[in-house]
A and B are shown apart, each in its own frame.
Chain A
Amino acid sequence: MVDFGTAELTLEMIQASQLGMRAVGAGLAVGLTGVGTGLAEMGIGAAAVGATAENRDMFGLALLFTVIPETIVIFGLVVALLLLF
């Protein structure tokens, strides 16, 4: 952190640091939600492939189940975009 005793904190520095923080926040939002989606889709995906192998007609429903957790990462992406712009 900046030491207030020795350095003058200019407005530009504060703005730059905040911009950096926002970028970190945006990164975390996408990254962590991505991990969450991945974890959720892991089990569903395996089961869905199994079900489709048993019965080809299940494909549509299986795909649907698999993409349901996708919403989580989309929310992360939305939050990230709103943070950045």
Chain B
Amino acid sequence: MLRPERMRRLLIAAPKGEIETIIRELYRHNVYHIEDFVPESSSPEALSIGHPLPEASDAASALIKVRVIENACGIDPENVETRTKLPASKVRAMIRTDLPAIQKEAEDLIASRSRLEARQKEHEQRVKELEPFAAVPLDLELYRGYLRFTVFTGHITHDVVIDVPHEKYFSDKVDGNMIVVMVQNEHREQVERTLLDAGFQAIPVPDETGSPDERRKAHAEEARRLGDEIAAVNGKIAGIRERHADFLVACDELLTADVERAEAPLRFATTEETFITEGWVPEDRADRIQEALERATNGRIYIEKMEVEDDTAVPVEYQNPSFASPTQMLMDVYARPRYSEIDPTLMVAIVFPIFFGMILGDVGYGAILLGLSLGLRKFLKGDGAKNLLNVLGVASISSIIFGVLYSEFLGFSLPWAPLIFSRHLNIGGHAGGHGPQVAELMILAIWIGILHITLGRILGMLNARRLYHGRHATKAVIANAGWLGAMWGIILIIWAFYALPMMPDLTGSAITLPLGVVLLVGGVIGIAQENALEIVEIPTIISHVLSYARLVAVGLSSVAIAMVVNYIAIGMMIEPQLEAITPVGVILIIVGILVFLMGHMLNTALGLLGGGLHSIRLHYVEFFTKFYKGGGKKYNPFGMKSKFTEE
């Protein structure tokens, strides 16, 4: 909690004969984060990158085959539900016996589908080419084979008059009009010029015989028949997906594991007879993996636990209680914490939903979003989406709780008075009760800001001690204290002059002003001793605290939209019509209901975006900048959690 999982660096050396055993053992435990071996000029010459195990290429080519079939059938292992886990030995046997047959079937189907599609395209093309000719009452063979005549066929902007002996057909029934002119060869150039002046664009005569209209219908029929055939083939491909999806994803998983294992030596350093690998394991698993490796190799292995020297090299794995773990996704979007710094995930997991609820405090919207987060689980698979939906679920529950406190339901008030401050804006004729307590809410938001930023600065002091060493650490701690002092100094000076509601009234006290000034000056000196340029950042003390006012401002704007929607839909459209129902009134009522639904849908989307984005922004910009560095490497253990297969 509050810090990433403790890691231990392991150095493993063993004779090459044990390489397979060790790789298999490491893979099975799924905890060892391999530090890739990079040959450098400084490393001993005898060390070189290892060679993949002999089965690598077979496994890789089999994997490619499986992936091709998966691709063709539209199977995505991410989205396949695990029904039963297949035993690995059975899958291996099936890869030898069944896979080639499935592959052949899939390949044949794909090939025939692309053949059919090509033919269908051809026919469709023909239909398009014949379209203009269908408007002219001539059979297609009449267009060619003349020695002494020239035939012009093409699109033209308008009909033209030709003043030499000719035969002409014109139709404006097709797109771009159609003209066919036949003249003797000696008039050819003259006619061509006349036609070109009218924007003539030649089109070739399709190489067919008979009536164009009939031919066109025949081609269209053929294209439709081919479309049916393609649908049938698609049905067969879907059949493969139905029957073999479980087996294919199991193959994929097994072979991926095989390939990863077989290629692991590429990440090791090897000599003639031995290999060396360095990596990381969580501290509490280090002993167990060491024992397991020693047992598996009968002691023919050397393992050394090494000290952590450079904290940027350590892979970082979160260590949080389960309710906070979905929030890790929000942390990863910003940056993973460094190994030695404080991991604020837990704080974000608690404060983010509170902020969200404060902004979108409405039972109705909260319930809609909760339903959304539960409903979308069926459609969105994958870890990222699941985490996001979990975060959304918690946030919407908080929004319901705040909705009860604010007494709000889709902009209407609930049957009780607001338990905390009121946000009812009295839009529309339904004024009543307390108006919005904007000033109180603002000050509440400012208080939250002051406390949140104070917390951030205190964490900043703790972090400075962990991240830096020696004088730099002391300076950084003092600078953080300086920021804190400057902020509280400004607050005290304000308090000394003004009595604000919900804040201590210190206008009478003689000590407030001097204390405030001392804190401010001391704070500025504290900031300047680390870096004098930071002085220009001092106004951010005020702007960052005031920034928390968005908790109220954004929330009020969403209340305003909700109330306006209600007013337009119910107050203006539905209620007046209900007094005396007329046919026009019924239509107006239906329109009113539509306005109501659309407006609240829009406001739900805005509330989700506004509430989520502004809450997370307050964390990223106002909170994290006070203490958080981030930039840790992701802990990526060598191994795989098997979803579809079991040993």
Contacts and interface: CB of A to CB of B under 8 A. Distances in A.
**A, B: real partners:** yes
Interface of A: 59-61, 63-64, 67-68, 70-71, 74-75, 77-78, 81-82, 84-85
B553 interface: yes
B394 to A, nearest CB: 20
A71 B543 contact: yes
B556 interface: yes
Nearest to B619: A64
Contacts of B334: 60-61, 64
A78 B442 contact: yes
Interface stretch (B18-26, B193-201, B432-440): B432-440
A78 B333 contact: no
B507 interface: no
B546 A68 contact: no
Contacts of B556: 77, 81
Nearest to B540: A71
Given A61-B334, A71-B546, A77-B556, 12 more contacts: A64-B617, A67-B613, A67-B617, A68-B621, A70-B614, A71-B547, A71-B550, A74-B547, A75-B546, A78-B546, A78-B552, A82-B439
Interface of B: 332-335, 435-436, 438-439, 442, 543, 546-547, 549-550, 552-554, 556-557, 613-614, 617, 620-621
A60 B546 contact: no
A60 B613 contact: no
B622 to A, nearest CB: 9
A61 B620 CA distance: 9
Given A60-B333, A63-B333, A67-B613, A74 B620 contact: no
B553 A64 contact: no
A41 to B, nearest CB: 13
A84 B549 CA distance: 16
Given A60-B334, A63-B333, A64-B334, A81 B620 contact: no
Given A67-B617, A67-B621, A74-B553, A81 B333 contact: no
18 contacts: A60-B332, A60-B334, A61-B335, A63-B333, A64-B620, A64-B621, A71-B543, A74-B550, A77-B550, A77-B553, A77-B554, A78-B552, A78-B553, A81-B553, A81-B556, A84-B438, A85-B435, A85-B439
B552 to A, nearest CB: 8
Contacts of A81: 438, 442, 552-553, 556
A17 B85 CA distance: 76
Contacts of A85: 435-436, 438-439
A82 B547 contact: no
B333 A59 contact: yes
A67 B442 CA distance: 21
User: By DSSP majority rule, is chain B's interface helix, strand, loop, or mixed?
Assistant: helix
Contacts of A78: 442, 546, 549, 552-553
A60 B329 CA distance: 11
B549 A60 contact: no
A26 B293 CA distance: 71
Contacts of B438: 81-82, 84-85
B371 to A, nearest CB: 27
Contacts of B436: 85
Contacts of B553: 74, 77-78, 81
Nearest to B544: A71
Nearest to B425: A85
Contacts of A84: 438
Contacts of A67: 613, 617, 621
A1 to B, nearest CB: 31
Residue of A59, A75, A81 most packed against chain B (CB within 10 A)? A81
Contact of A74 (B335, B439, B549, B613): B549
Contact of A82 (B333, B442, B557): B442
A68 B552 CA distance: 18
Contacts of A64: 334, 617, 620-621
A61 B547 CA distance: 19
Nearest to B553: A77
Contacts of A63: 333, 617, 620
Contacts of B550: 70-71, 74, 77
Contacts of B543: 71
A31 B547 CA distance: 18
Nearest to A65: B621
A85 B421 CA distance: 14
A81 B423 CA distance: 12
A60 B335 contact: yes
A25 B256 CA distance: 65
A85 B553 CA distance: 12
